């Protein structure tokens, strides 16, 4: 290998395939084996939005009516003049996207979480994952050694992205039932800095943690903010499930961005309350960042430059379509996004209750053997074996599919490498159970999910 090729090769890493992709790749063969035994497939693995809440037909009708409304209310309605929204929808646009979309989103989102959101600080992203990539890319560009602080376990997509650059390491923090353990969070920050690494942010999903299957307590959120202020570190808050909440209205914890917008980079995605296909998302922050001894600039400005170097022109038609969801059937602006989420909440809440009741009925008599998290938001619960002889590795989950038709996701790949060095058994007694997806609707969905959790409990009792 010549010098140039060797240099290129040394700059690349071969990272493990994400746990969900690995399962997706293995599933066709496992399905074949299950079908050969006459087994029905039970979906407790995929974290996909349910097709019952992503039927686009009503949305497409509403979008058409909204676009007609925009045409009628355009300031220039002369015959033959193309309305501004229509010109923008099918032309190059600013990296920030249409102004009205950001204004309408800032209005409702700020009202829902009780803080004055500034539309000029919103940057469109390709879903929340686009925001993760944008933040990592910005801080990796100078080439310094970086430590990304995150939870153990954490979102597999973040692990995959964070490990792309050679100069980055993940410093993870174990969690208890309220969130990351504060003493360990402080220890990891100090350890990373003593190793000469820049610590730009702490990444987390505090509401409906994926894959943790719970939400951070209000007390722990305030403790995290205090640590981040003391160490001058940002919070990268991934918030796909803030509206998929099962808590009473007066018990919903406020996201970090509402508690301290100058310390938080907040990632919103429309995938869970809207539609996953259009990949509409926003990054929001009011943070400032020091780029030299004498210069402090808005982080938003740096991220906008970074964004324009990656995706100069977002899809304005998709953004306008998202804006239509922020208006009612009379094209009046909605005061809140909770009505948009309500249909989804009803279905996911039903699913969650079926799973929780099924686990309680099937395995609740054996608290010394099994436990599971109680999700206050999101799509997941984490199921734990208390018997150390049971190892939930790839062999185990493949066996569940081939012998019982039950699809689940193992937890060990959600733990960063350093967490598995601290504890070689990390995740090897746990499974992530998803209650968001099935291939059926209405009563069939309810029956299939009840059958799935009963089949899971029966299989567990046979082990």
Domain boundaries of the chain, sorted by first residue: 3-53+339-462, 84-324
Distance, in Å, from the CA atom of 98 to the CA atom of 85, rounded to the nearest integer, reads 8
Beta strands in 127-204 (DSSP E): 146-152, 168-176, 179-180, 201-204
- According to CATH, what is the number of the domain 84-324? 3.40.640.10
Q: What is the pLDDT of residues 165-180, one digit of tens each?
A: 999 999 999 999 999 9
Nearest C-alpha neighbor of 383 from the set 427, 448, 436: 427
Say what the pLDDT of residue 78 is: 56
Count CB neighbours of 310 within 10 A.
13
Which stretch, 102-111, 272-281, 337-346, has highest mean pLDDT? Answer: 102-111
Greatest C-alpha distance within the chain: 76
Give percent of the chain above pLDDT 70.
91
Say what the pLDDT of residue 75 is: 64
Those residues whose C-beta lies under 8 Å from the C-beta of residue 452, and which sit 6 or more positions away, are: 42, 43, 44, 406, 438
Give the helix/strand (H/E) hosting 124. Answer: strand 122-126
The β-bridge relationship of strands 430-434 and 380-385 is antiparallel
Say what the pLDDT of residue 438 is: 85
pLDDT (mean) for 107-132: 95
Query: Above 80 in pLDDT, residue 91?
Result: no
Tell me the C-alpha to C-alpha distance, in Å, between residue 271 and each of 97, 137, 140.
18, 23, 27
Instruction: Render the burial of 22-51: b for 16+ CB within 10 Å, e for the rest.
Output: bbeeebeebbeebeeeebebbbbbbbbbbe
Give the helix/strand (H/E) hosting 296. Answer: strand 295-298
Tell me the C-alpha to C-alpha distance, in Å, between residue 242 and each of 72, 152, 216, 312, 428.
34, 20, 12, 28, 29
Residue 290: helix, strand or coil by DSSP?
A: strand
Using the 8-state DSSP alphabet, how is residue 52 labeled? G
Those residues whose C-beta lies under 8 Å from the C-beta of residue 120, and which sit 6 or more positions away, are: 102, 300
Say what the pLDDT of residue 311 is: 78
Topology classification of domain 3-53+339-462 = 3.90.1150
- Stated pTM of the model: 0.91
Q: What is the dihedral of CA 341, 345, 347, 351, to 10 degrees?
A: 150
Q: What's the full length of the chain, in residues?
A: 463
Query: Above 80 in pLDDT, residue 188?
Result: yes
Q: What is the pLDDT of residues 22-59, one digit of tens each?
A: 655 665 666 676 677 777 888 898 888 888 888 888 88
- 11 pLDDT band (50/70/90 cuts)? very low
pLDDT (mean) for 343-356: 95
Say what the pLDDT of residue 9 is: 44
Distance, in Å, from the CA atom of 460 to the CA atom of 441, rounded to the nearest integer, reads 27
Peptide bond into 268 cis (omega under 30): no
Nearest C-alpha neighbor of 376 from the set 177, 153, 151: 177
Distance, in Å, from the CA atom of 445 to the CA atom of 52, rounded to the nearest integer, reads 9
Distance, in Å, from the CA atom of 1 to the CA atom of 293, rounded to the nearest integer, reads 43
Tell me the C-alpha to C-alpha distance, in Å, between residue 262 and each of 99, 118, 228.
22, 12, 11
Q: What is the pLDDT of residues 235-279, one digit of tens each?
A: 999 999 999 999 988 889 999 999 999 999 999 998 888 878 778
Query: Above 90 in pLDDT, residue 287?
Result: yes
Using the 8-state DSSP alphabet, how is residue 439 labeled? S
Give percent of the chain above pLDDT 90.
67
Strand partners, 147: 169
Distance, in Å, from the CA atom of 264 to the CA atom of 256, rounded to the nearest integer, reads 6
- 19 pLDDT band (50/70/90 cuts)? low
Do 201 and 46 contact (CB within 8 A), yes or no?
Answer: no
């Amino acid at each position: 290998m010549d010098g140039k090729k060797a240099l290129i090769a040394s700059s690349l890493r071969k990272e493990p395939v994400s746990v969900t992709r690995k399962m997706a790749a293995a599933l066709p063969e496992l399905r074949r084996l299950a079908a050969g035994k006459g087994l029905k497939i039970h979906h407790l693995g995929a974290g996909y939005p349910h097709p019952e809440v992503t039927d686009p037909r009503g949305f497409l009708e509403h979008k058409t009516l909204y676009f007609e409304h925009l045409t009628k209310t355009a300031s220039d309605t002369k015959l033959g003049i193309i309305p501004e929204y229509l010109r923008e929808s099918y032309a190059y646009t600013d990296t920030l996207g249409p102004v009205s979309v950001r204004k309408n989103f800032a209005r409702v989102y700020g009202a829902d979480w009780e803080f004055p959101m500034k539309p000029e600080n919103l940057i469109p992203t390709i879903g929340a994952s686009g925001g993760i990539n944008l933040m990592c890319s910005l801080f990796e560009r100078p080439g310094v050694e970086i430590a990304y602080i995150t939870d153990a376990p954490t979102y597999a997509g973040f692990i995959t992205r964070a490990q792309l650059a050679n100069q980055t390491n993940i410093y993870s923090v174990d969690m208890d039932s309220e969130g990351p353990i504060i003493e360990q969070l402080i220890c990891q920050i100090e350890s990373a800095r003593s190793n000469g690494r820049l610590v730009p942010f702490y990444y987390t999903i505090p509401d409906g943690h994926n894959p943790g299957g719970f939400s951070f307590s209000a007390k722990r959120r305030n403790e995290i903010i205090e640590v981040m202020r003391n160490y001058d570190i940002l919070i990268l808050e991934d918030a796909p499930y803030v509206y998929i909440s099962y808590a009473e209205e007066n018990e919903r914890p406020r996201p970090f961005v509402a508690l301290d917008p100058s310390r938080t980079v907040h990632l919103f995605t429309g995938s869970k309350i809207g539609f996953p296909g259009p990949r509409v998302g926003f990054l929001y922050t009011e943070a400032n960042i020091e780029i030299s001894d004498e210069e402090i600039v808005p982080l938003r400005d740096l991220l906008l430059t970074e964004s324009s170097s990656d995706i100069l022109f977002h899809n304005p038609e998709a953004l306008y379509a998202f804006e239509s969801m922020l208006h009612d059937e009379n094209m009046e602006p909605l005061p809140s996004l909770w009505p948009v989420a309500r249909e989804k909440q009803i279905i996911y809440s039903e699913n969650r209750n079926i799973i929780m009741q099924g686990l309680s009925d099937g395995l609740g008599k054996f608290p010394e053997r099994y436990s599971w998290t109680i999700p206050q938001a999101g799509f997941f619960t984490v199921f734990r074996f208390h018997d150390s002889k049971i190892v939930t590795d790839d062999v185990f989950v493949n066996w569940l599919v081939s012998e019982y038709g039950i699809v689940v996701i193992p937890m060990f790949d959600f733990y960063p490498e350093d967490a598995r060095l601290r504890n070689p058994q990390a995740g090897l007694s746990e499974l992530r159970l998803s209650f968001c997806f099935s291939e059926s609707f209405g009563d069939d969905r309810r029956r299939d999910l009840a059958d799935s959790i009963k089949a899971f409990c029966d299989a567990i009792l046979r082990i």
